[in-house]
């Protein structure tokens, strides 16, 4: 038997159950990974609460982890038992000692990258890769607004922006988070609990406003974010930490300056094994060069996944959080 977290109904952290299940043998094209570390992400909370529906219940939870391949299904050629690997996509169920998933969603981990680092950055770092290098290819010199700059995705974004020569203005909710984002390379920070974000962006940019806004907060910040953009520039709405953006009248894009908007996801970019590998290669190169490092600021035993999710949902975490099976 192997331990895993599952949920049989949607709701608060109390719906998470820590159970023993028989290990699933990998089917054709699949591998089973013995997790050394599991990544905690906001999307896990969306599935637990039902904002994103799980395909069936009871369901496992989590999509990010790192460890060693312990069984390989028929037809898998690029992975073998004993390989060090990491993953950030595929079926729910990463919150577990053993996780079985399609081999095409799993990449080999370079020796220099440890399991905790990998579990702390596969989903978040690949997200920053596609947002900064594909959704819009930042060239350096742009000024961008990034919400939740001291969070998991945000901490990597600050460092990646610095490496690209991009001026990242990060929003945060405390002086401690501001200091952290600036240490990671944010060009400036705005504490939205004390300052007016639009006015502060206007001051910082001498009235020019931003070339792009990256908004993962969603409902609460949608309009503020649009107000921080230059005419004809791009709003990247990529998350729902405060709730989903709904009922948008497209006319608002006209009123706010002929803006563009996109709502991307990692699965839409890493949609083939080749694209996933190319994105992972770039993330791993950024880690190996020291241009970015992963701050594992919180570690919880797997059994305490609910407590970990509560901390993430209530803004108590910074950087990455991992669960240890
Ligand atoms: P974070 O570590 O960034 O945690 C969320 C942060 O959002 C909080 O720490 C808090 O920072 C801020 N926040 C603002 N409003 C709220 C609110 N109402 N409730 C909770 N938090 C709030 O989480 P992750 O790094 O895991 O994810 C960041 C975001 O990116 C999430 O929205 C996630 O869904 C999204 N995402 C999207 C992906 C995609 O491909 N589309 C992939 C990966 C992540 P502060 O206290 O400073 O305000």
Both tokens of 183, joined, read: 């240490």
User: Residue written as tokens 């949902």?
Assistant: 313
Return the CATH number at 150: 3.40.50.720
Query: Are 258 and 274 in the same domain?
Result: no
Return the CATH number at 81: 3.90.180.10
Q: Distance of CA 150 to CAs 62, 74, 164, 204, Å?
A: 22, 43, 18, 19
Query: Are 256 and 281 in the same domain?
Result: no
Given this model, what pLDDT does residue 71 score? 98
Given this model, what pLDDT does residue 62 score? 98
Given 218, 245, 263, the domain boundary residue is 263
Q: Could you tell me which residues are beta bridge partners of residue 210?
A: 229
Given 229, 263, 297, the domain boundary residue is 263
For the residues 277-293, what does the mean pLDDT come to?
A: 98
Query: Are 318 and 211 in the same domain?
Result: no
* Distance from residue 103's CA to the centre of ligand 1 (Å): 28
Confidence band of 174 (pLDDT split at 50, 70, 90): very high
Confidence band of 181 (pLDDT split at 50, 70, 90): very high
- Whether the CB-CB separation of 144 and 212 falls below 8 Å is answered with yes
In a domain, 132, yes or no: no
Confidence band of 148 (pLDDT split at 50, 70, 90): very high
Q: What percent of the chain has pLDDT over 70?
A: 100
What DSSP letter does each residue of 309-323 carry, written as one string? HHHHHTT---SEEEE
- Of all protein residues, the one whose alpha carbon is nearest to atom 17 of ligand 1 is 242
For the residues 168-193, what does the mean pLDDT come to?
A: 98
pLDDT digits (tens, 9 = 90+) for 243-273: 999 999 999 999 999 999 999 999 999 999 9
Given this model, what pLDDT does residue 308 score? 98
**What is the Cα–Cα distance from 192 to 190, expressed in whole angstroms?**
6
Please tell me if the CB atom of residue 127 comes closer than 6 angstroms to any atom of ligand 1. Answer: yes
For the residues 264-288, what does the mean pLDDT come to?
A: 98
Query: Are 81 and 9 in the same domain?
Result: yes
Question: Percentages helix, strand, coil for the chain, rounded to the nearest 5?
Answer: 35, 25, 40
Domains held by the chain: number: 2
- Whether the CB-CB separation of 191 and 172 falls below 8 Å is answered with yes
Given this model, what pLDDT does residue 17 score? 98
- Whether the CB-CB separation of 202 and 224 falls below 8 Å is answered with no
Given this model, what pLDDT does residue 104 score? 98
Q: In degrees rounded to 5, what are phi and psi of residue 67?
A: 175, -150
In a domain, 133, yes or no: no
For residue 300, the enclosing domain spans 2-121+270-324
Query: What ranges make up the beta strands (E) of 44-141?
Result: 59-60, 65-72, 84-87, 98-102, 106-108
Helical spans, DSSP H, in the chain: 42-49, 115-130, 152-164, 175-183, 197-204, 222-227, 251-255, 266-269, 273-288, 305-313
Please tell me if the CB atom of residue 43 comes closer than 6 angstroms to any atom of ligand 1. Answer: yes
Q: In which order are the strands placed within the sheet that holds 2-7?
A: 16-21, 2-7, 59-60
Query: Are 16 and 113 in the same domain?
Result: yes
Compute the Cα dihedral for 140, 287, 62, 70 and give only its sign: positive
Both tokens of 298, joined, read: 């919180």
For the residues 232-251, what does the mean pLDDT come to?
A: 96
Q: Is 319 left (phi over 0), alpha (psi -120 to 50) or beta?
A: left
Confidence band of 209 (pLDDT split at 50, 70, 90): very high
Please tell me if the CB atom of residue 277 comes closer than 6 angstroms to any atom of ligand 1. Answer: no
Given 263, 289, 307, the domain boundary residue is 263
Given this model, what pLDDT does residue 199 score? 98
CA 255 to chain centre: 31
Confidence band of 65 (pLDDT split at 50, 70, 90): very high
Please tell me if the CB atom of residue 309 comes closer than 6 angstroms to any atom of ligand 1. Answer: no
ω before 58 within 30° of 0 (cis)?
Answer: yes
Query: Are 204 and 259 in the same domain?
Result: yes
Query: Are 72 and 175 in the same domain?
Result: no
Return the ligand 1 atom nearest residue 321 CA. 2
Neighbour-count burial of 217, counting CB atoms closer than 10 A to its CB (0-12 exposed, 13-18 middle, 19+ buried)? buried
- Whether the CB-CB separation of 67 and 2 falls below 8 Å is answered with no
Q: What percent of the chain has pLDDT over 90?
A: 99
Given this model, what pLDDT does residue 26 score? 98
Query: Are 300 and 200 in the same domain?
Result: no
- The three-state secondary structure class of 63 is coil
Task: For the chain, give the mean pLDDT.
Answer: 98
This complex has an ipTM of 0.99
Best mutation site among 157, 239, 264, 279 for ligand 1 pocket (most ligand atoms within 8 Å of CB): 239
In a domain, 135, yes or no: no
């Amino acid at each position: 038997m192997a331990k895993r977290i599952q949920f049989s109904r949607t709701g608060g952290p109390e719906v998470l159950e820590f159970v023993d299940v028989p290990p699933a043998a990998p089917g054709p094209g699949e591998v089973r990974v013995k997790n050394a570390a599991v990544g905690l992400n906001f999307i896990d909370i969306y599935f637990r609460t039902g904002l994103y529906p799980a395909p069936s219940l009871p369901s496992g939870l989590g999509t990010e982890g790192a460890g060693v391949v312990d069984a390989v299904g028929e037809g898998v050629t690029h992975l073998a038992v004993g390989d060090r690997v990491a993953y950030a996509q595929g079926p729910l169920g990463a919150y577990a000692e053993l996780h079985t998933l399609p081999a095409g969603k799993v990449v080999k981990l370079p020796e220099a990258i440890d399991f905790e680092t990998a579990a702390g950055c596969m989903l978040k770092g690949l997200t920053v890769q596609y947002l900064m290098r594909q959704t819009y290819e930042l060239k350096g010199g742009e000024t961008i607004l990034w919400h939740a700059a001291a969070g998991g995705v945000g901490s990597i974004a600050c460092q990646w922006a610095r490496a690209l020569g991009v001026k990242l203005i990060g929003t945060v909710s405390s002086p401690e988070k501001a200091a952290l984002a600036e240490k990671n390379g944010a060009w400036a920070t705005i504490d939205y609990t004390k300052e007016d974000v639009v006015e502060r962006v206007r001051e910082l940019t001498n009235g020019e406003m931003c070339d792009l806004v990256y908004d993962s907060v969603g409902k609460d910040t949608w309009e503020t974010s649009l107000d921080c953009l230059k005419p004809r520039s791009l709003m990247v709405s990529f998350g729902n930490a405060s709730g989903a953006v709904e009922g948008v009248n497209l006319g608002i894009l006209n009123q706010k300056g002929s803006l563009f908007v996109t709502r991307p996801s990692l699965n839409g970019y890493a949609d083939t094994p080749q694209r996933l590998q190319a994105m992972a290669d770039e993330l791993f190169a950024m880690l190996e060069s020291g241009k970015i490092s992963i701050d594992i600021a919180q570690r919880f035993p797997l059994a305490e996944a609910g407590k970990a999710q509560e901390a993430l949902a209530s803004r108590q975490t910074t950087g990455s959080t991992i669960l240890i099976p």
